[in-house]
Amino acid sequence: MKSLLIRISALLVTILCVTVFLPESAVCAEERWIKMDNGEYLGFDGSNGTITWYPDMGEKTLEIPSIIEGVTVKHLADSSFYGHKELETLIVPETVESIGEYAFGGSPKLKEIIFNAPETELSEYFFHGCDALKKVTVNGDLYTGKHGFQNSKVETVIVDGKLYIDDYGFYRCEALKEIDAKDGIISIGYLAFYECGNIKSIGNLDTVEYISPEAFRDCKLPGNVTVGEKSRTAPAESTNISLNIYDDSAMGDEYYGNMAASRPVQSYLYSEGDCFWRVENMGITVVEKYDRDFNLMEARRLESDLSTVWGGFFCGREYNFIITGNKNPKEDDGKVVVIVTKYDKNWKKLDDVKLKSLNTVTVFRSGAVRCAESNGYLYIHTCHTMYADSAGINHQANMVIEIDEKTMKAVDILDGTGWSKNTPSVSHSFNQFILIDEGNNLVFLDHGDASPRAVRLFMNGKKAGEKTFTSNKGTELLIYKIPEYKGTESTGYNKTGTSVGGLEETKNYYVTAYVTDEKGGNSGYDGIKNVYVAVTSKNKFSENGTSIKKITSYSASGSKSAGTPQMVSTGKTGGYIIWDIIENGKASGKIGYVKYDKKGKVSKIKTAHGYLSDCKPIYAGKKVIWYVTDNSRPVIYILDKKGITKKEL
């Protein structure tokens, strides 16, 4: 309907101008209306070389002129060629610099477009209504723009240059079979290939510099599509700002899954020796090494299999680990669903383990991946949607995997098949944390919405560092019992009005931070949330041994709220709790923070300008450090006794 109105409007303008000015060419505002050989009128703005309207003359092949009345054609306006009913082949001259929205839309027989400019940038929904389009050839570089090919029927895209694929670039292009970019694909945006199920060849990806973590969601790629390892010369640009926030309308834009749940952490920072290391998933895995002043020392991307799903990263004592996986929609017991890859401390790949089935349909769904290690064993606390139950429902739950780091064999697994309140199992589990304390106790923290509907701390029945961890003798502690959902939405109980930020320990206590609106999500995702800290005695692991303190006091009728907090330990004597201050549904650019002591008692709230991200802060050199990106290089935040400062890389 919108396209029809645009066409009618353009025709009315044409009729008005022709009626008032009868000569062969006439002026209407900035446009000239030029009479063509068949009596139709072409709209042209000679001041900037823009074709504003090109009438349908029934042609099957149309080569757009590069010069009109001595003026070079540089721009094609919105809907300027809309509705050419018989057109099959369209050729765009090398002079054209920009093309407006719906420029070639509504041409149902258009099969092929050839662009001849050195650079071509498409606008949104460029091929709307071109249902016969099969092939696009670009004799230069191509920038798809957001939604450029979205929902089109294109099968083949040939680029004689570089290809830059923006967010939603080929979204739901179900007929797409081949992309061939002579000089390679440089970037691939968010959901760029969502539900593209027939791709046979995607061309050269070794040139790629950025891939959104969600670029290939629900896309069927031709086998394993691998990007090779490559050195870099500058810090990689990305967007991780606010990705720590969930169950809140202020959460970051790039989101996978249920808004009520957390998501796999994409960005990490760790300290070893005299250096800092950045590890981040950008569809490809980027590793960067910095000196203590955050001067870049080296950078690279690791070999990455684009057909896998990102899970997370863990910096161990002797090794680094990356956890990825695969979806298993057919519930195939022979399908590899989790891959744990081991690297040395210089990021040389050493080994991996590929785990099949795990009662898993979608791995890492609606939750995160966090790890701990003890005595040469790696413990992975994550989540998945499981094989269908007798009612045909694929429930989501947490999952725990124990890996022998030396042999890279899985020695024990909890995959949701043996639920009990005396085991670590939680369903649904919307965030997962794990801690191995100084007594080698294995402690889990989950955000549950049903079984149980609570922020749940769990002391495992076996200590860490043994060949198995499963036990039915653990102890459950419901730190915060979330109010019942009272709405009518079928999945409304997913909303809890709560999000969990971390689990740390002091010498005698476990410390947990979370935010809640205290209404069980019945206010949707816009409820005003406050920060709470729960302190549990190690010697009295029970409700009676737990004290809860409300840190903030944002009013339910006000405009300020708290985002999902981050926690960082400064040792067995305390640490910090840090959160974004939300104003009017958005991260305000201000953060609040408190320091907690060895007994979990918190200081007065301090505030500063800044943002959080999903990068968990680290403690190094008596400073708390994290980084934030916003379609940018990292901005380093440093918290010390003097307050918070930042450094742009």
Q: Are 375 and 400 in contact (CB under 8 A)?
A: no
Q: Tell me which of 14-28, 56-70, 126-140, 396-410 is least confident.
A: 14-28
235-261, pLDDT tens digit by residue?
A: 999 999 999 999 988 775 554 556 899
| Spatial CB neighbours of 4, under 8 Å, sequence gap ≥ 6 | none
Q: What is the CA radius of gyration of the chain?
A: 28
- Classify residue 641 as exposed, middle or buried by CB count within 10 Å of its CB (0-12, 13-18, 19+): exposed
Identify the residue whose tokens are 């989790």.
Answer: 338
- Strand order of the sheet with strand 41-45? 25-28, 31-35, 41-45, 50-53, 75-76, 98-99
The architecture in CATH of the region 308-481 reads: Beta Barrel (2.40)
C-beta neighbour count of 307 within 10 angstroms: 17
DSSP state of 233: S
pLDDT > 70 fraction of the chain, expressed in percent and rounded = 94
Instruction: Report the C-alpha gap between 288 and 280 in whole angstroms.
Output: 9
Which sign does the torsion angle of CA 413, 416, 419, 423 carry?
Answer: positive
Q: Tell me which of 39-43, 292-296, 475-479 is least confident.
A: 39-43
In this predicted structure, the answer to whether residue 20 has a pLDDT above a threshold of 50 is no
For residues 158-171, average pLDDT: 96
pLDDT confidence tier of residue 29, bands split at 50, 70 and 90: very low
Report the predicted TM-score, pTM, of the whole model to 2 decimal places: 0.87
**Chain centroid offset of residue 519 CA:** 28
218-241, pLDDT tens digit by residue?
A: 888 887 788 889 898 999 999 999
* Token pair for 545: 């041994």
Instruction: Report the C-alpha gap between 199 and 184 in whole angstroms.
Output: 17
pLDDT confidence tier of residue 359, bands split at 50, 70 and 90: very high
Q: Are 147 and 124 in contact (CB under 8 A)?
A: yes
Strands (DSSP E) found in 518-585: 530-537, 546-550, 560-562, 566-571, 574-583
At residue 151, the 3 state secondary structure works out as coil
Q: Can you give the pLDDT at residue 573?
A: 97
Identify the residue whose tokens are 């399908």.
Answer: 335
525-549, pLDDT tens digit by residue?
A: 889 999 999 999 999 999 999 999 9
Q: Can you give the pLDDT at residue 435?
A: 98
Beta partners for residue 578, in sequence order: 566, 593
Q: Can you give the pLDDT at residue 252?
A: 57
**Chain centroid offset of residue 502 CA:** 21
Mark 559-581 as b/e (b = at least 16 C-beta within 10 Å). Answer: ebbbbbbbbbbbeeebbbbbbbb
Instruction: Report the C-alpha gap between 214 and 509 in whole angstroms.
Output: 38
Looking at every residue in the chain, the average pLDDT score rounds to: 91
Question: Using alpha carbons only, what angle is made at residue 259 by residues 147 and 216, rounded to the nearest 5 degrees?
Answer: 40
Q: CA nearest 33: which of 22, 23, 44?
A: 44
428: preceding bond cis by omega (within 30 degrees): yes
| Spatial CB neighbours of 196, under 8 Å, sequence gap ≥ 6 | 170, 172, 173, 174, 176, 219, 220
532: amino acid identity, one letter: Y
52-101, pLDDT tens digit by residue?
A: 999 999 999 999 999 999 999 999 999 999 999 999 999 999 999 989 88
In this predicted structure, the answer to whether residue 460 has a pLDDT above a threshold of 80 is yes
Q: CA nearest 282: which of 186, 383, 218, 195?
A: 186
| Spatial CB neighbours of 489, under 8 Å, sequence gap ≥ 6 | none
Distances from the Cα of 342 to the Cα of 131, 227, 253, 351, angstroms: 47, 18, 31, 5
Q: Can you give the pLDDT at residue 257?
A: 55
488-514, pLDDT tens digit by residue?
A: 887 888 999 999 999 999 999 999 999
Q: Can you give the pLDDT at residue 172?
A: 95
For residues 126-137, average pLDDT: 91
* Token pair for 14: 């044409």
Q: Can you give the pLDDT at residue 556?
A: 92
Q: Can you give the pLDDT at residue 253?
A: 52
Instruction: Report the C-alpha gap between 125 and 52 in whole angstroms.
Output: 18
Q: Tell me which of 27-36, 338-347, 363-372, 485-494 is least confident.
A: 27-36
In this predicted structure, the answer to whether residue 25 has a pLDDT above a threshold of 70 is no
Q: CA nearest 602: which of 513, 537, 515, 529?
A: 513
368-390, pLDDT tens digit by residue?
A: 999 999 999 999 999 999 999 99
DSSP code string of 28-91 = ETTEEEEE-TTS-EEEEETTTTEEEE------SEEE--SEETTEE--EE-TTTTTT-TT--EEE
Q: Can you give the pLDDT at residue 6?
A: 39
Q: Are 226 and 614 in contact (CB under 8 A)?
A: no
For residues 401-415, average pLDDT: 97
For residues 449-461, average pLDDT: 97
Q: Where in the chain is the domain with CATH 2.40.128.630?
A: 308-481
In this predicted structure, the answer to whether residue 179 has a pLDDT above a threshold of 60 is yes
Instruction: Report the C-alpha gap between 154 and 521 in whole angstroms.
Output: 43
Terminal Cα distance for the chain, rounded? 48
Q: Can you give the pLDDT at residue 531?
A: 98
In this predicted structure, the answer to whether residue 19 has a pLDDT above a threshold of 70 is no
| Spatial CB neighbours of 571, under 8 Å, sequence gap ≥ 6 | 619
